[in-house]
């Protein structure tokens, strides 16, 4: 992910990835944020774990890839991730989040 320019700030991709990763790590049912080497259900994932795009209305679209824990209701986990990411980004960066796309790349069995 390239650096973002929001509200007069240049943000390193590492900053946003850290904010998102910390928020996601607190969500029940999430084992981890996936990395570029995570093996998915049917293929090896080669996309960044966190991506963000500034939209025309100066909001962000965030995409996050996760590894979910087996036994949790996945739509509920995805919704909790959306809420946690949106809250963390808006609080720490002062930028509204229009959407959070959650990609479940793998399941971890505890």
> Among 1-5, 32-36, 53-57, 93-97, where is mean pLDDT lowest?
1-5
Task: Indicate the number of domains in the chain.
Answer: 1
Q: For residue range 18-40, list pLDDT tens digits in order.
A: 999 999 999 999 999 997 665 55
Domain that holds residue 43: 4-108
Q: What is the pTM of this model?
A: 0.87
Please name the residues in contact with 107: beta carbons below 8 A apart, sequence gap of 6 or more: 67, 68, 69, 70
Q: 4 falls in which pLDDT band (50, 70, 90)? A: confident
Question: How many CB atoms are closer than 10 A to CB 49?
Answer: 23
Q: Please give the backbone phi and psi of residue 34, each rounded to the nearest 5 degrees, phi first.
A: -70, 150
User: Residue 60's pLDDT is what?
Assistant: 92
CATH number for 54: 3.30.70.1350
């Amino acid at each position: 992910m390239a650096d973002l320019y929001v509200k007069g700030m240049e943000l390193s991709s590492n900053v946003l990835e850290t904010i998102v990763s910390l928020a996601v790590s607190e969500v029940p049912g999430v084992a981890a944020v996936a990395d570029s080497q995570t093996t998915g259900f049917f293929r090896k994932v080669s996309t960044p774990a966190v991506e963000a795009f500034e939209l025309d209305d100066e909001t962000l679209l965030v995409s996050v890839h996760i590894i979910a824990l087996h036994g949790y209701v996945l739509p509920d986990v995805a919704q909790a991730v959306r809420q946690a990411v949106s809250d963390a980004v808006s609080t720490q960066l002062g930028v509204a989040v229009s959407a959070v796309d959650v990609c479940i790349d793998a399941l971890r069995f505890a």
